[in-house]
């Protein structure tokens, strides 16, 4: 991604006696605070969205609350990368923080659902850049021996909100208001922003202004407009699904054509055909995210409306998912160490089968075909399997860097973008069904059916990874 490239073109401003770059203590603290804020917001919003939709009488725009954030974050990441190429990491980080804070304020003050969706869109623009900030800063400002420790700290900063964010958000919404979930992050952001930004001011500006980085900057400009086009086309497709009139059909057609056209500049050829190798790996990642994370976007609302669970109880289920996904990632790492890289395709296939089985059980538990406790068991199985299969698939994709001439930074961007795109489409499709289908039980049954189709396709496409690995 451009942000990473910009980081590699910059150099630290201070050296230790041994010649290694020194890191201001405030930078680490500020960076971790920013990561915590973005991670908490990402994990908390799904839990409080049912209350937001009820309070603002905006169930018809429920899916847009997630999709607007995701699609704008895709463009925000590329734009921030270009800005950082030209003006330096401090400027890129500052703009992202200000935009993210503005989005929090707009969402927290929203008088109606369209204004809330606008706030989410603004948040996404800032979050796109902030999501890449830790890796860019660690690459450019930390000595080699400190990078692994800082990356581990960043991972832990994401883990804590994944485990506690949904539950904390639901408790805050119960005790005060859903608006407090957004407002409460602003003071922490004000505290963390200077700690993170001020130490970055000494970094030189992008080499786009001199020496060696022109290719990186050119690459940023080359993907900027396709990224915007993909976001807009996907938004048109989602809105078309939501509308029951002739304009809906027009928007669907325009959106599909736009996604197909802009994808050519952002993803390798053969993605939508799941061609063997990297295209198939990207397709598996996107379809798996479509299935599980798409379900995650409307699962709390389904539990609340169909099963009568409180937000706190629904948030507890999402916390279980965060914990078991982490457990699955750990299991995958142990399997990788014991059995080696040649078993990755088999682990992906097993993981996708587990995701499908878990989602089937979750669906039956939520819709009432099985007891409610089966939804918890199913979500546990699905998230555990996701941790195993998703990470194994990522390793498979990264192994293609050398064999297919793919750059590591470019591949990282593709992995992130396909995930964001497919989750946005799943959330939008689910929201459209919730808005259009009646009764609500039928709408949720259709929404679950859509994400289950994604899980089936992920399992089918995973077979192609084994064929490629044997070549």
The residues, any chain, with a CB within 8 Å of residue 113's CB and separated by 6 or more, are 52, 53, 56, 57, 58, 60, 61, 65
3-state percent breakdown (helix, strand, coil) of the chain, nearest 5: 85, 0, 15
Examine the domain organization and report whether 209 and 299 are in the same domain: no
Examine the domain organization and report whether 303 and 436 are in the same domain: yes
Distance of CA 371 to the CA centre of its chain: 31
Q: Quick one: pLDDT at residue 107?
A: 95
**Higher pLDDT pick, 102 / 207:** 102
Examine the domain organization and report whether 209 and 274 are in the same domain: no
Within a domain: 255:
no
Looking at residues 272-281, what average pLDDT do you find? 90
C-beta separation of 66 from 50 below 8 A = no
Please give the structure tokens belonging to residue 153.
């700290």
Examine the domain organization and report whether 192 and 276 are in the same domain: no
**Higher pLDDT pick, 407 / 370:** 370
Identify the top-confidence range among 162-166, 210-214, 359-363, 408-412: 359-363
Within a domain: 236:
no
pLDDT digits (tens, 9 = 90+) for 26-84: 788 888 888 888 888 888 888 899 999 999 999 989 999 999 999 999 899 888 878 87
Examine the domain organization and report whether 302 and 176 are in the same domain: no
Phi-psi region of 260 (alpha: psi -120 to 50; beta: other; left: phi over 0): alpha
Examine the domain organization and report whether 37 and 161 are in the same domain: yes
Examine the domain organization and report whether 201 and 82 are in the same domain: yes
pLDDT at 381 over 60: yes
Measured CA to CA in angstroms, residue 433 lies from 279, 420, 437 at distances of 29, 20, 5
pLDDT at 145 over 50: yes
In this predicted structure, which of 252-256, 337-341, 344-348 has the lowest mean pLDDT? 337-341
Q: Looking at 199, 221, 243, which one is the last position of a domain?
A: 221
Examine the domain organization and report whether 210 and 324 are in the same domain: no
Q: Looking at 221, 252, 285, which one is the last position of a domain?
A: 221
pLDDT digits (tens, 9 = 90+) for 282-324: 999 999 999 999 999 999 999 999 999 988 888 888 888 888 9
Examine the domain organization and report whether 213 and 278 are in the same domain: no
Which residues span the domain enclosing 404?
Answer: 270-471
C-beta separation of 141 from 19 below 8 A = no
User: Which residue is listed with tokens 């500020």?
Assistant: 30
CA atoms within 13 A on the CB side of 38: 32
Count CB atoms within 10 A of the CB of residue 122. 23
DSSP string for residues in 418-440:
HHHHHHHHHHHHHHHHHHHSSSH
Q: Quick one: pLDDT at residue 257?
A: 95
Query: Any idea what the Cα angle at residue 87 is, between residues 81 and 93, rounded to 5°?
Result: 60
Count CB atoms within 10 A of the CB of residue 97. 24
Q: Looking at 164, 194, 221, which one is the last position of a domain?
A: 221
Within a domain: 362:
yes
Say how many domains are in the chain.
2
Question: Which of 111, 127, 137 is closest to 40 using CA atoms?
Answer: 127
Examine the domain organization and report whether 364 and 456 are in the same domain: yes
Within a domain: 397:
yes
Backbone CA torsion sign across 434, 292, 413, 198: positive
Count CB atoms within 10 A of the CB of residue 242. 23
DSSP conformation class of 369: S
CATH number of the CATH domain containing 46: 1.20.1250.20
Strand partners, 21: 15
pLDDT band at 388 (very low <50, low <70, confident <90, very high): very high
Within a domain: 251:
no
Examine the domain organization and report whether 210 and 294 are in the same domain: no
Within a domain: 227:
no
């Amino acid at each position: 991604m451009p942000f990473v490239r910009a980081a590699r073109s910059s150099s630290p401003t201070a050296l230790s006696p041994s010649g290694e770059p020194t890191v201001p203590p405030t930078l680490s603290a500020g960076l971790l605070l920013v990561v915590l804020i973005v991670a908490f917001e990402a994990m908390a919003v799904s839990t409080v969205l049912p209350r937001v939709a009820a309070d603002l009488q905006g169930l018809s725009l429920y899916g847009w609350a997630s999709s607007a954030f995701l699609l704008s974050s895709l463009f925000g990441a590329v734009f921030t990368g270009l800005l950082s190429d030209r003006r330096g990491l401090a400027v890129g980080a500052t703009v992202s923080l200000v935009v993210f804070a503005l989005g929090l304020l707009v969402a927290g003050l929203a008088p109606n659902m369209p204004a809330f969706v606008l706030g989410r869109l603004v948040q996404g623009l800032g979050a796109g850049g902030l999501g890449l900030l830790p890796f860019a800063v660690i690459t450019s400002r930390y000595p080699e021996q400190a990078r692994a420790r800082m990356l581990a700290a960043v991972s832990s900063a994401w883990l804590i909100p994944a485990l506690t964010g949904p539950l904390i958000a639901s408790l805050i919404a119960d005790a005060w208001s859903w608006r407090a979930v957004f407002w409460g992050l602003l003071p922490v952001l004000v505290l963390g922003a200077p700690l993170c930004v001020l130490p970055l001011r000494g970094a030189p500006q992008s080499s786009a202004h001199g020496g060696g980085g022109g290719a990186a900057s050119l690459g940023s400009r080359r993907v900027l407009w396709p990224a915007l086009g993909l976001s807009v086309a996907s938004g048109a497709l989602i809105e078309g699904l939501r509308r029951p009139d002739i304009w809906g059909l027009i928007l669907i057609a325009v959106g599909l054509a736009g996604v197909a056209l802009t994808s050519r500049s952002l993803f390798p050829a053969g993605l939508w055909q799941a061609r063997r190798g990297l295209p198939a790996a990207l397709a598996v990642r996107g379809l798996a995210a479509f299935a599980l994370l798409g379900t995650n976007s409307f699962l709390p609302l389904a539990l609340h409306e169909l099963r009568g669970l409180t937000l706190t109880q629904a948030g507890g289920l999402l916390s279980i998912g965060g914990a078991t996904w982490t457990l699955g990632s750990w299991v995958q790492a142990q399997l990788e160490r014991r059995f080696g890289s040649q078993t990755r395709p088999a682990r992906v296939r097993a993981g996708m089968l587990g995701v499908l089985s878990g989602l089937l059980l979750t669906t039956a538990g939520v819709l009432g075909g099985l007891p409610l406790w089966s939804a918890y068991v199913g979500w546990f199985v699905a998230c555990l399997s996701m941790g195993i299969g998703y990470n194994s698939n990522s390793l498979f994709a990264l192994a293609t860097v050398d064999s297919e001439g793919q750059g590591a930074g470019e591949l990282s961007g593709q992995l992130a973008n396909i995930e964001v795109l497919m989750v946005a489409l799943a959330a939008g499709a689910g929201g459209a069904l919730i808005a259009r289908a009646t009764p609500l039980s039928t709408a949720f049954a259709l929404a679950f059916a859509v994400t289950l189709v994604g899980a089936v396709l992920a399992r089918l496409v995973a077979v192609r990874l084994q064929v490629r690995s044997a070549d």
